[in-house]
Amino acid sequence: MEIFKDRIRYVQCLTESRPGLHAARNHGTRAARAEILMFADDDIIPFPAWIETVQETFLAHPETVLVGGKSLPLYESDPPTWIHDLWEDIPYGKVNGWFSLIDLGADIKPIPADLVYGCNFSIRKEIVERCGGFHPDALPWNLKHLRGDGETHVSRWIEARGLLCMYHPEASVQHVIGEERMNWDYLCRRAFLQGISDSYSATRTNPALLHRLPLILRRVLYVVSRNVLRRGKRARRHWLHYIHGMLWHQYIVSRDVEMRRWVMKEVYDR
């Protein structure tokens, strides 16, 4: 970022000591002086008019709090056919959530907040501040137990209040899919982490969930899921890893009071 200081007047290069993508995004939010924040991952290539389109969309629809677009794959090599099979048709278009891909067509339109993916996430700063900031996510593997639901928390906060989110096909990015991701090991690992995130979200939404199953039964389910996934057929194995991730997280949260406090923490940006 240092090379841009002479080219962009207000550019800042910040360092965040806490691990995780969203700790850095919360830091950036605090430091930002603009009304509109544009978040992107380091493996995206924006469309030529990305910034201008986001700005125009907020101006054209003043009630808008969140803007998104397409996240189209840019494969580093020919992908295996099973990656194409992961696309899912939805009423607004199609998505491949396992690889953060989305295509909602050629029309400008309002969309649910959860259809704006974190790799292409443009939002009013006041909304991030009002909802308490992003939750933990994208942590190193050794800290996976501290994983939360990242920008999903922000999206659900917006959706619960009926605030306007807009899709614009030119406010889009290409998402680079490297060769190291195009294999079943990556997909299973990704599914396991998603299971952790969904367990985290479910526990925050309904804390009583932790008390519905005795600890010993949680342990049995965790061990069974681990053994089943070892024998699972490859075509469905990532879903078994997803379930395993959920049960693993539920088990450690139910037995560790500090983990319960972490999951139920109101604000992480402190």
Reported pTM: 0.87
- Whether 172 and 212 map to the same domain: the answer is no
**Single residue among 181, 196, 219 that ends a domain in this structure:** 181
- Whether 200 and 177 map to the same domain: the answer is no
- Whether 136 and 189 map to the same domain: the answer is no
In CATH, what number is assigned to the domain containing residue 158?
3.90.550.10
- Whether 167 and 58 map to the same domain: the answer is yes
SS3 annotation, 30-92: HHCCCCEEEEECCCEEECCCHHHHHHHHHHHCCCEEEEECCEEEEECCCCCHHHHCCCEEECC
pLDDT tens string 7-24 = 777 778 888 889 999 999
Q: How would you list the strands of the sheet with 173-177, edge to edge?
A: 44-46, 173-177, 71-75, 101-103, 93-96, 88-90
Per-residue model confidence (pLDDT) at position 7:
72
Q: What value does the mean pLDDT of the chain take?
A: 89
Which residues lie across from 37 on neighbouring strands? 123
- Whether 114 and 86 map to the same domain: the answer is yes
- Whether 19 and 139 map to the same domain: the answer is yes
**Single residue among 140, 160, 181 that ends a domain in this structure:** 181
Number of folded domains that form the chain: 2
Domain limits for position 153: 1-181
- Whether 212 and 266 map to the same domain: the answer is yes
Distance CA 76, CA 174 (A): 12
**Single residue among 140, 166, 181 that ends a domain in this structure:** 181
Lookup: tokens for 78:
């020919």
Inter-helix orientation angle 237-255/215-231, to 10°: 160
**Lowest-pLDDT choice from 93-97, 199-203, 218-222:** 218-222
- Whether 260 and 128 map to the same domain: the answer is no
Per-residue model confidence (pLDDT) at position 10:
76
pLDDT tens string 76-131 = 999 999 999 999 999 999 999 999 999 999 999 999 999 999 999 999 999 999 99
Q: Which of 102, 100, 161 is nearest to 126 (CA)?
A: 161
Q: Would you place residue 232 in the very low, low, confident or very high pLDDT band (cuts 50, 70, 90)?
A: very low
- Whether 77 and 194 map to the same domain: the answer is no
